[in-house]
Structure 1
Amino acid sequence: MGKDKLRRFAEIDTFANVYQLEEAKPLKGNWTNNHFKNCNPLVLELACGKGEYAVNLAQLFPEKNFIGIDYKGNRIWRGAKTAIEDGIENVAFLRIQIENILDYFGEGEIDEIWITFPDPQPQLSREKKRLTSPRFLEKYKPLLKKGGKINLKTDNDQLYLYTCETVEALGLKTHKNTDHLYTSEVLDEVLSIKTYYEKKYLLHDKNINYIQFSFD
């Protein structure tokens, strides 16, 4: 492990807005009161990477709370440090494996989920690891409040089509859907937030896919 990674891992241990593994389990079911000290809606960004979406959403919606989730601490470091430096108190970060999400949040605790440019896991043998597979959707379902929405934003056409097919097969409700986000009518201030990797994709004229759906 490089010196920068080691330094970042050591630094996030001192960040009040980062929780890691076992230390986060006591917050299950009561994140808003115990960490954010309010009763505002709670939104997750899964596979958050450097946390650009979570941080930007927190700035746009100070009346909501946001948690970016990823397992790579050196990536979380960037988003957490930005939030501290800019005084953004309605965003936190959680370093866990997303497959264990049920250990960290209570039933009906989450208002909305964002999945932004996750690993598409293109091999058929890795379908169960896709964050929009039925296996993962079953984990999100009890955590979301009634009417809670899931948003997927991805440059990967295969993952987008797989998600659309999964949503249809499970009888879920689609609210918004486009395979060319930046030329579509659904584009708004929130969807205009661009991550580091998204900016790179757009420089190469890659289309960005987006779907919003719910269990209702």
Structure 2
Amino acid sequence: MRKKLKRFAENHSRDNIIQPGKPLYENVRGSWNSDYFKEENPIVVELACGDGEYTVGLAQAEPSCNYIGIDIKGDRLYQGSTLAMEYDLTNVGFLRTQIHLLENFFDENEISEIWLTFPDPRPRDRDEKRRLTHTRFLNMYKKLVRKDGWFKFKTDNTALFDYTLEVLQNDFPVKNLEYTHDLYQTELVSDHYGIKTKYERIWSEKGEKIKYLKFQF
């Protein structure tokens, strides 16, 4: 607990974390490039970014884009923030908020690309609406991502992946849908720049195949 409290205190002083109590938290909607990054680049968002290692990896791989990792856990964002600082990255930041509040922080068409990597699968039927690929979330993402933008989803959980495919094919039609149940055996593998999270490495070592899909709204 003491370690978490120390991290929370440090988060308040870090420029690459936007959270309640900081000026930009209330005013960043529609002005990420002008007020935070100070550079007009495509904005790429990672939802439920956890420790931020994927967000940081993307920022390293594509320095011509601005990256925002989003999570509600402050101690996790501390990890990503620290990693970004160690690599001296200026094209990455972190936002502490709940995913269902995204419209408070992004304007319509402000996002170029969304990544969703290894989210909580919410396996219980009563939690279906909390899955981050449920139609209520997809409708929100659609408003925020520009028309030529992409949504990219990576998971080890077969049930969640199949659920998502069913939603996209039956309940929420999209365009240019591509998918695989075994990412590392397809040409789609180049999409993720070789970035692997801690959890991906754990499940891969256990023999779990990594599922991946991408589409445009």
Could you tell me which residue of structure 2 aligns to residue 171 of structure 1?
A: 173
- Match for 1:185 among 180, 187, 194? 187
SS of structure 1 residue aligned to 2:59: helix
Could you tell me which residue of structure 2 aligns to residue 137 of structure 1?
A: 138
User: What are structure 1's unaligned runs of at least 5 residues?
Assistant: none
Could you tell me which residue of structure 1 aligns to residue 208 of structure 2?
A: 206
Aligned mates of 1:61, 1:46 — CA distance in 2: 18
Could you tell me which residue of structure 1 aligns to residue 107 of structure 2?
A: 106
CA displacement 1:20-39 (0-9 Å, x = unmatched) = 13641301001011100011
Report if aligned partners of 1:167, 1:174 keep a CA contact under 8 Å in 2: no
- Match for 1:196 among 181, 195, 198? 198
> Which structure features the higher share of helix residues?
2
Structure 2 residue 93 is the aligned partner of structure 1 residue 92: yes
Identical positions, percent: 44
Aligned mates of 2:209, 2:21 — CA distance in 1: 39
Give the aligned residue type for 2:76. R
Give the aligned residue type for 1:211. L
Could you tell me which residue of structure 2 aligns to residue 17 of structure 1?
A: 16
Distance 1:203 1:150, change over 3 A: same
Report if aligned partners of 1:150, 1:214 keep a CA contact under 8 Å in 2: yes
Q: Give the ranges of 4+ consecutive aligned residues of structure 1 lying more than 6 Å apart after TM superposition.
A: none
Aligned mates of 2:149, 2:61 — CA distance in 1: 19
Aligned mates of 2:19, 2:88 — CA distance in 1: 21
Deviation at 1:147, TM superposition (A): 1.5
Aligned mates of 1:22, 1:188 — CA distance in 2: 39
Aligned length in residues = 214
Give the aligned residue type for 2:117. T
TM-score (norm 2): 0.96
Could you tell me which residue of structure 2 aligns to residue 149 of structure 1?
A: 150
Give the aligned residue type for 2:49. C
Report if aligned partners of 2:116, 2:154 keep a CA contact under 8 Å in 1: yes
Report if aligned partners of 1:174, 1:211 keep a CA contact under 8 Å in 2: no
Report if aligned partners of 1:43, 1:111 keep a CA contact under 8 Å in 2: yes
Deviation at 1:57, TM superposition (A): 0.5
Distance 1:165 1:174, change over 3 A: farther
Aligned mates of 1:80, 1:189 — CA distance in 2: 24
SS of structure 2 residue aligned to 1:112: strand
Aligned mates of 1:117, 1:21 — CA distance in 2: 26
CA displacement 1:116-138 (0-9 Å, x = unmatched) = 00001011110111011001011
Distance 1:143 1:189, change over 3 A: closer
Could you tell me which residue of structure 2 aligns to residue 42 of structure 1?
A: 43
Deviation at 1:202, TM superposition (A): 0.8
Deviation at 1:175, TM superposition (A): 3.3
Give the aligned residue type for 2:166. E
